[in-house]
Amino acid sequence: MSKRSRAAHSRNSVRWYLLIAALLLFFFFSNDFGLIDIQKTALVMAVGIDRDEEGFVVTAQIAVPQSSAQGKEAQAVQLESRGETVGDALEQINVKTGWYPKLVFCNLIVLGEEAVRRNVFDALDFFLRDEYMSDGCLVAACEGSAGDLLDTATPIDPISSVAAQKVLSRHASKVGTVASVTLREFAIGYFSASRSGWLPVLKAESLQESSGGNGGNGSGEEQGQGSDQGQNQEQNAGAFTPTAAAGEESGSGSGSGKSGSGGGGTEQTFSAAQTLLFSEGVGRGILTPEETFAFCIANGGLRLATYTTESDGAAYTLNIKKSRASVKFRVDKNGVPRLVIRVKASAGLESTAFSQTVPEISDTHPLPEEVLTDAENALSAQILEVFEKSRANGCDLFEVTEKLRKFENDYYSAYRDDILGRVLPQVEVKISALR
């Protein structure tokens, strides 16, 4: 090949490369690849799911971008839509507003009271299939309407879902105040042999209500839900009632559009100290804040958690620096299935409720052994209560059936139908004093 031929071939190759690059850029920036104009995209930060006789009522909390030059706080709007499925309801947002909802930034799903009374995976199936949805999204239940809960005004953050995520964070789970769970974790429990799981119960309560103590033994959390739980349940309970008819307000699927993060009224804060037990995707019993703490320490390690116990008529608040837990299942030589829950923790004294002398205060001696023993016994009893409550509600909270399938497969076919009723639980808690 001559130099002229090679040069012509090189020019033709460059032209072809440029043409291919131009075509790729054209398709990339077109909607043929599924890309949506940012001005037509609704960035969904949280989703509330309710149910009624007609189907699903979906509340999408959508971020409203703000220019940094404006100096304004972040804002969000809420759009309510209806549909026979969750996907259909979200599609109605696009139909009525022209906004295409994207779930790439969705970090919270709240299931309303009526939704948890049926199989919640009728609602969650959509999110498990969506290509943009993160399986690390937090999931919670609530009393009453999920849409109303997301419409709560809170001083913690201008956007209510962001404030709720702080309460449901992994930090809260590590200190034992909340048994948080992600979409992936909840799905794993549902599709396992145990067919069970749990969700934190997200509540809105006034700042005055949340300033009390936690009432007796428990996690020592700062929000103080213990003495006010009954009152809050009465306030938030009740079936969901649709709030708007089609075509009213903003033009979403149901016509309901709410500005800001809250509906006006007294500012409130969130709590999630209670835990809802699930079996076959349906909500069953509820763990108290104290039982939630016991479940958290039995389910995984805690760090910097507080626990209040009584010893010799006096209250002691322990600071649990670190804990480890193991849950093991076995069938003994007599064919008796056993579940052994072991917890090891190290703790120091954070405060006491009795008067001390100056020498006692200045003395750096470790915690009295009787205090540690009383704390161990109290925690053991609470963990056992958690197991028995979950068993009474048909919830395999500690995955006994799944452990039977994995580690004792010879007994699986014979025991699986009644393993939860036959298993003998054993709880061992050991707390060491920090020195």
The predicted structure's pLDDT at residue 227 = 38
CB-based contacts of 7, cutoff 8 Å, min separation 6 = none
Judgement on whether residues 168 and 221 belong to the same structural domain of the protein: yes
Give domain status of residue 191, yes or no. yes
| Residues 247 and 92: beta-carbon distance below 8 Å | no
Residues 318 and 242 occupy one common structural domain: no
Model confidence at 390: pLDDT above 90? yes
- Domain end residue (candidates: 239, 264, 287): 287
Same domain, 178 and 51: yes
User: What's the number of domains the chain is made of?
Assistant: 2
User: 249 and 382, same structural domain?
Assistant: no
Q: Is residue 26 part of a domain?
A: no
Question: Residues in the chain, how many?
Answer: 435
Cβ proximity of 306 and 318 under 8 Å: yes
Give me the pLDDT at residue 77, please: 87
Highest mean pLDDT among 26-40, 234-248, 421-435: 421-435
- Residue 294 in any domain: the answer is no
- Residue 360: inside a domain, yes or no? yes
Residue 260 pLDDT > 60, yes or no?
no
Alpha-carbon torsion, ordered 126, 132, 137, 141, to 10 deg: -30
Do 223 and 333 lie in a common domain? no
In the listed set 259, 287, 315, which residue is the last one of a domain according to the structure? 287
What is the pLDDT, as a whole number, of residue 236? 35
Residues 239, 348 share a domain: no
Indicate whether 3 belongs to any domain. Answer: no
Same domain? 45 vs 109: yes
H or E stretch covering 406? helix 400-407
Residue 14 forms part of a structural domain: no
pLDDT, tens only, 234-246:
333 333 232 232 2
Where in the sequence is the domain holding 168, given as residue range(s)?
38-287
324 in the same domain as 229: no
Is 24 contained in some domain?
no
pLDDT 10s digits, 266-323? 678 999 999 999 999 999 999 999 999 999 999 988 998 999 999 888 898 999 999 9
Q: Which of 104-108, 124-128, 263-267, 317-321 has the lowest mean pLDDT?
A: 263-267
Weakest-pLDDT range from 65-74, 142-151, 176-185: 65-74
- Phi and psi torsions of 88, nearest 5°: -65, -40
Residues 72 and 137 in one domain: yes
262 and 320 within one domain: no
What average pLDDT does the structure give for the chain?
Answer: 81
If asked whether residues 77 and 210 sit together in one domain, one would say: yes
Using pLDDT thresholds of 50, 70 and 90, give the confidence band for residue 32: very low
- Whichever domain contains 308, its CATH number is 3.30.300.210
Is residue 32 in some structural domain? Answer: no
Tell me, what's the pLDDT at 88? 93
Q: Residue 170: what pLDDT? A: 86
Q: What is the DSSP letter of 142?
A: E
Q: Pairing between strand 424-433 and 337-352?
A: parallel
pTM of the entire predicted model: 0.78
d(CA 53, CA 271): 29
Range with the lowest mean pLDDT among 59-73, 180-194, 303-317, 339-353? 59-73
Instruction: Name the pLDDT band for 2 (thresholds 50, 70, 90).
Output: low
Q: Are 191 and 270 part of one and the same domain?
A: yes
